[in-house]
Amino acid sequence: MLKATDHLVKHPNPLVRYPSLTGAFLGVIVGAPVALVALPITYPLGKQMENNTGKPGTATNTMYSPMTATGEGGTLALGGPFWLLFGWWKPVLSSSSPAASSPIKPAPKRAAPPSTIKK
């Protein structure tokens, strides 16, 4: 997965994450028939690359490249505008406690006024 689409699909804001996942799903659905039609071209090309590089699995990766490209494109097409609207400005909390990452620090505790102290 590309770094940009991985960021969109795993974004903490659901207004960015869900459209990105929908775009990826629709892109893969559109890309599956494209990958089947392109199979006579992509499989021999991948097999040749596998023979030249010696890396197993290159033919399989090449066969699925049209589907991967349309999935990534769908993620960027649907998730990108939502990231521009809702995702780039939303702070990501680095710790589990919201107070630890808040720029506003709580006021220090004051001592009780002398009139309320029991003698």
Question: What is the DSSP code string of 38-92?
Answer: THHHHHHHHHHHHHHH--TTHHHHHHTHHHHHHHHHHHHHHHHHHIIIIISSSPP
Are 4 and 24 within 8 A, CB to CB? no
Q: What is the per-residue pLDDT across 4-50, written as a single tens digit (0 to 9) for each?
A: 788 888 888 889 999 999 999 999 999 999 999 999 998 888 888 88
Measure the CA–CA gap between 79 and 40, rounded to whole angstroms. Answer: 32
Q: What is the per-residue pLDDT across 92-106, written as a single tens digit (0 to 9) for each?
A: 544 454 555 556 666
pLDDT of 57 above 60: yes
Provide the pLDDT for residue 102.
56
Are 76 and 16 within 8 A, CB to CB? no
| Model confidence band, residue 64 (pLDDT cutoffs 50, 70, 90) | confident
The amino acid at residue 20 is S
Measure the CA–CA gap between 19 and 110, rounded to whole angstroms. Answer: 48
pLDDT of 78 above 80: yes
Q: Which region among 38-47, 54-63, 105-114 has the lowest average model confidence (pLDDT)?
A: 105-114
The pairs formed by 87-94 with CB atoms below 8 angstroms and a separation of 24 or more are 87/8, 87/11, 87/13, 87/15, 87/16, 90/12, 90/13, 92/12
